[in-house]
Amino acid sequence: MTDSLDRPFAPAEIESACYQLWEDQRVFHPQGGNSTYCIMLPPPNVTGTLHMGHAFQDTLMDILTRRARMQGKQTLWQPGTDHAGIATQMLVERRLEAQGEKRHQLGRSAFLEKVWQWKEESGGHISRQMRRLGASCDWSRERFTLDEGLSHAVTEVFVRLHEEGLIYRGKRLVNWDPVLQTAVSDLEVVSSEEGGKLWHIRYTLTDGSGSLVVATTRPETLLGDVAVAVHPEDERYQALIGKTLRLPITGREIPIIADDYVEVEFGSGCVKITPAHDFNDYQVGQRHHLPLLNIFTSDARIRDEIEVVSGSIGDTQIPEELRGLDRYASRKRLLALLEVEGSLVQTDEHRLMIPRGDRSQAVIEPYLTDQWYVRVGPLAEAATEVVRAGKIRFVPENWTRTYYDWMERIEDWCISRQLWWGHQIPAWYGPDGNIFVTRTEEEAQHAAAAHYGMPVVLERDADVLDTWFSSALWPFTTLGWPEQTPDLREFYPTSVLVTGFDIIFFWVARMIMMGQHFTGQVPFREVYVHGLILDGEGQKMSKSKGNVLDPIDLIDGIDGEALVAKRTQGLMQPQMAEKITKATRKDFPNGIPAFGTDALRFSFASIATQGRDLRFDLKRVEGNRNFCNKIWNAARFALMQIPEDADLHGARELLPPERWIIGRLQEAEASVNDAIEQYRFADAAHALYQFFWNDYCDWYIELSKTVLRPESSFSAAEIRGSRYTLLAVLEAALRLAHPFMPFLTETLWQRVAERLGKEGKTIALTAYPVADLQRVDQEADADLAWLMAFVGALRSVRGEMDIAPSRELPVLLQGGKDSDRERLERLSVWLRSLARMGEVEWLAAKAEGPPAALQLLGELRILVPLAGLIDVDAEYQRLSKEEARLQGEQDKVQKRLAQPSFRERAPAEVVAKEEARVQELTNALQELAEQRRRLDALR
């Protein structure tokens, strides 16, 4: 540990030493306790780097984890990383391409070797960054979705689901990414409105009696048309249903069918039906037993010949000039042909939803392929039920509805991907295509031998599983499943899942389905759904916008040009670089100062409200860095006040300030605990901030100076009480703050605890404070409220009248109760030091005092004589303003009281309160008016 506190707060100096201490002491290993607490880290991409969203989420998890650990629970925060199939494979492919190599030239095993190599190189990065954040994961248990144990579990799950008929293989339309050349799930497709056209194309009736016009946004699929559909009740086309049309270009004959999928109002009310290239048309095709004609290759080019997947047609020829053309080139060409033919009757601008792959951004093509699916119906039902039954609670609760809605409409999950990086599907094919799904190749061989009556050569399915398949198992596979390990027994179901709403469907729902199915228990009891971190302008942070902040830069600081370089390097659109450079130089002319981890963490906690979007403002971090500094200096002060040889454990007597601050501490403890329990991190942070800065520093430290100063007239027991309280309250506050600011609190605690003679190697394993509200002392609270109001009154006079702080204020008192006199006796020593109150004199009740500034403290009149001190005009104005304010309030209250219905219906205590208030206001107004008259005479 760094030793000297004789310097300003310097986070960089303390952070690494603290983390070292925690790891050396094995602080993060589960230990002790009769109850358990467990959080699963949502596994980040193994080759990724920490972004603001991670840092935010990790901070919240760490707060929960550290508090639970300090509460003495056996606590595990399980870390690990995800192989992130598509993302990682794309990245490695891009790197290879930069070196002039291609995935397919390398071949599967050589390519995979390259990916593993990349994983080894960049794999530890994100966990090192998490350590910088202070994350208290048990790193000795770190897992990776592709490591041996987890892969084994994935196979086990696949095989079991297959045996139960919940996994099947089928040929149907999938979302096909023609760039990545793989199927993706519904969730990986993001549709957004884009500009396009609506083409109107004429199809002529084969009997020569006329024609129809169909409207389409995808003319290039025309070659795959198998029918034209109209609405069954559409009067315009009644007579045509059942007739046939001639497809433009090729002249193939197709029927006119009736299906109520067609919207009468849209376009011409006629829809071309292309079952192999459109999800709706597929349904229509199924209903009407139409052929399935595939016209595209896997990279979305026109085939050389139509592939008849089912049904039959006469001619499968494709015009030579279209063959091999990309879908957009073929669209252009085909439109030209239609134009020539005279079939293109109209072209309209049209906005439509374009589906794109969330990784590649390629336009997704509905494409007929063989894929593996999870039959989610039964799983979803069970997963809905556990939420309904309250076994899983969403926080905030309104996400429950989103969850239900999705679960009700969920479709089977396409889990196979035509990638190489991932868990290869444990399925083997016999020579005749028979499928053997087994745990190992040997088992498949046995099964095949039994099936065919002789050994055969099997071919393994080349596909891998969707990354989210293994992620769905994360809560139990990381704990050793399928083995019934002690960890699994101890920590499963886990306590809470902390996650963003963007992956409720991808991940949360699937974990619930799989967890419930395979363990018979929910994977977690609560789901805390947090908001999304946006930049200061409310924009989503993204590399392409150039507004990304790196959490590590906020901790260590970064100079302006380095930040510019970082933001403009490796852009997908290099032309943005100039704009980003300009904006960055404007927003961060001096770069970013080093705020330290604790300030960053505290900032994350303080913006963690229940909203959906959370703007991240650097000013806030700066403010919290100042808070860290405040704590640092307060601790320095406390330690400085207490001589090395001071005996803190002799007889102690507690003065009102001590009794008061102890009470405030209890209330702060209650607020913080209560807030964390409800996942109200911002409230918890606020309570801490408020207590430490406003109560402890602004008032208590200042009050203690009076007792602890060298010429103090307080007794030894009182001084000891004050010294002890100063340190003990600080020590408790450090423990209370530790989950939020682990580094700062650890460093200071080492020194404070030593001085207090407290045992323990680290604050991380001390007891988390629990409020004892019995210790809130009503009398002390009343004393301090009086004292603070008195000090406030004098400071207000001083501030508004511009009286130098060095100048003592003489005070005249008048009126008031016995308690005011009694308190003045006991508390004036603090009034003198905090407000620099000078001579005090009591005036007789009716006596006419000298011209003075007036402040009211209940029935007590506090007068600061004007002679030589006060500007009469200024005080006159101040009084007038104050009068106006009170008058306004009095009017409001009186109006309320004047209503008979208020007296009749409002609770008696509310009425009494209002009456007391109006009385008080009336008195005050009288006093002020009188005082103003007196001053008026002097002007």
User: Judged by CB, which is closer to RNA: 61, or 893?
Assistant: 893
Contact 208, 444 (CB under 8 A): no
Which x/- pattern over 632-651 shows residues binding RNA (rule: CB under 7 A)? -xx-xx--x-----------
Q: Can you tell me which of 39, 133, 187, 488 binds RNA, judged by CB under 7 A?
A: 187
183, 368 Cβ separation under 8 angstroms: no
* Contacting RNA within 859-898 (CB under 7 A): 881, 889, 892-893, 896
Report residue 198 CA to chain centroid gap: 41
* Single-letter residue type at 240: L
* Angstrom distance (rounded) from CA 799 to CA 852: 15
According to CB under 7 A, which one of 626, 877, 880, 887 is a site residue for RNA? 626
Of 550, 631, 638, the closest CA to residue 588 belongs to 550
Q: Contact with RNA (CB under 7 A): which of 45, 217, 244, 316?
A: 217
Angstrom distance (rounded) from CA 688 to CA 771:
14
Closest separation between CB of residue 534 and RNA, Å? 7
Nearer to RNA, 35 or 678 (CB): 678
Q: Mapping DSSP to helix (H, G, I), strand (E, B) and coil, where does residue 730 land? A: helix
Is 277 within 8 Å of 365 (Cβ atoms)?
yes
Query: Which residue carries 């009067």 as its tokens?
Result: 235
Residue 211 interacts with RNA (CB under 7 A)?
no
Residue 347 interacting with RNA (CB under 7 A): no
- Over the window 258 to 297, marking each residue x when it contacts RNA by CB under 7 A and - when it does not, the resulting string is ---xxxxxxxxxxxx-----xxx-----------------
> Of the two residues 204 and 690, which places its CB atom closer to RNA in the complex?
690
The 775-804 site mask, x for binding RNA (CB under 7 A), equals -----------------x--xx-xxx-x-x
* Selected range binding RNA among 205-213, 337-345, 376-384, 624-632, rule: CB under 7 A: 624-632
Tell me the β-bridge partners of 216.
Answer: 199
Q: Between residues 31 and 610, which has the closer beta carbon with respect to RNA? A: 610
- Residue 780 Cβ vs RNA, minimum distance, rounded to whole Å: 20
Q: Using an 8 Å Cβ cutoff, are 363 and 331 in contact?
A: no
Site for RNA in 445-504 (CB under 7 A): 502
Taking the complex as a whole, how short is the minimal distance between the CB of residue 315 and RNA, in angstroms? 23
Q: Give the count of beta carbons closer than 10 Å to the beta carbon of residue 382.
A: 13
Residue with Cβ nearer RNA (245 or 437) = 245
For position 899 contacting RNA by CB under 7 A, the verdict is yes
What is the size of the binding site for RNA (CB under 7 A)?
A: 96
Q: Which of residues 72-131 bind RNA (CB under 7 A)?
A: none
CA triplet 77, 82, 86: central angle to 5 degrees?
Answer: 160
In the complex, least distance from residue 601 CB atom to RNA, rounded to whole angstroms: 15
Q: Does residue 186 touch RNA according to CB under 7 A?
A: yes
CA dist., res. 579 & res. 592, Å (int): 19
In the range 8-27, which residues lie near RNA by CB under 7 A?
A: 8-9
Q: Is 698 in the site for RNA (CB under 7 A)?
A: yes
Residue 149 vs 591, nearer CB to RNA = 591
- Least spacing, CB of residue 483 vs RNA, in Å: 36
**CA–CA gap between residue 593 and residue 619 (Å, rounded):** 11
Q: Which is nearer to RNA, 393 or 892 (CB)?
A: 892
Which alpha helices (DSSP H) does 46-178 contain, by range? Answer: 52-70, 85-98, 103-106, 108-122, 125-132, 148-163
789: its two tokens: 């109001």
Which is closer to RNA, CB of 25 or CB of 542? 542
Residue of 357, 331, 335 whose CA lies nearest to 346? 335
- State which residue, 15 or 683, has the beta carbon closest to RNA: 683
Determine the interface stretch with RNA among 171-179, 338-346, 465-473, 698-706 (rule: CB under 7 A). Answer: 698-706
Instruction: Name the burial class of residue 457, with classes exposed (0-12), middle (13-18) and buried (19+) by CB atoms within 10 angstroms of its CB.
Output: exposed
Q: Which long-range contacts (CB under 8 A, 24 or more apart) does 378-383 make?
A: 378/166, 379/166, 379/513, 379/514, 379/516, 379/517, 380/407, 380/410, 380/509, 380/513, 382/513, 382/516, 382/517, 383/407, 383/509, 383/512, 383/513, 383/516
686 interacts with RNA by CB under 7 A: yes
Q: Which residues pair with 326 in a beta bridge?
A: 301
Cα 680 from Cα 675, distance rounded (Å): 5
Q: Footprint of RNA on residues 534-563 (CB under 7 A)?
A: 538
Longest Cα separation, the chain: 121
Phi/psi at 936 (nearest 5 deg)?
-55, -35
Q: Which residues, numbered 821-860, are part of the site for RNA (CB under 7 A)?
A: 833
Site string for RNA, 663-682 (x = CB under 7 A): ---------------x-x-x
Verify binding: residue 623, RNA, rule CB under 7 A: yes
Handedness of CA 538, 540, 544, 547 (dihedral sign): positive
Element (H, E) at 840: strand 837-842
> Is residue 683 involved in binding RNA (CB under 7 A)?
yes
- Supply the minimum distance, in Å, between the C-beta of residue 598 and RNA: 11
Site for RNA in 387-416 (CB under 7 A): 398, 401-402, 405-406, 409
The nearer residue to RNA, 227 or 764, going by C-beta atoms, is: 227
DSSP state of 276: T
- CB-based contact 749:603 (threshold 8 Å): no
The residue among 190 and 717 lying less far from RNA, judged by its C-beta, is 190
Identify which of residues 157 and 729 has a Cβ nearer to RNA in the complex. Answer: 729
Tell me, what amino acid is at 911? V
Site residues (CB under 7 A) for RNA, limited to 224-263: 261-263
Residues of this chain, 348-387, that bind RNA according to CB under 7 A: 352-353
8 A C-beta contact, residue 543 and residue 581: no
Taking CA atoms, 2 is separated from 18, 90, 486, 633, in Å, by: 9, 45, 39, 16
Pick 679 or 768: Cβ nearer RNA: 679
Q: Which of 887-901 are b and which e, b meaning 16 or more Cβ less than 10 Å from the residue's Cβ?
A: eeebeebeebbeeee
Q: Which is nearer to RNA, 123 or 593 (CB)?
A: 593
Q: Fill in the per-residue mask, 903 to 932: x = in contact with RNA (CB under 7 A), - = not in contact.
A: -xxxx--x--x---x---------------
Sheet of 182-184: strand order equals 182-184, 167-177, 365-374, 413-414
Cβ proximity to RNA, 86 vs 96, nearer residue? 86
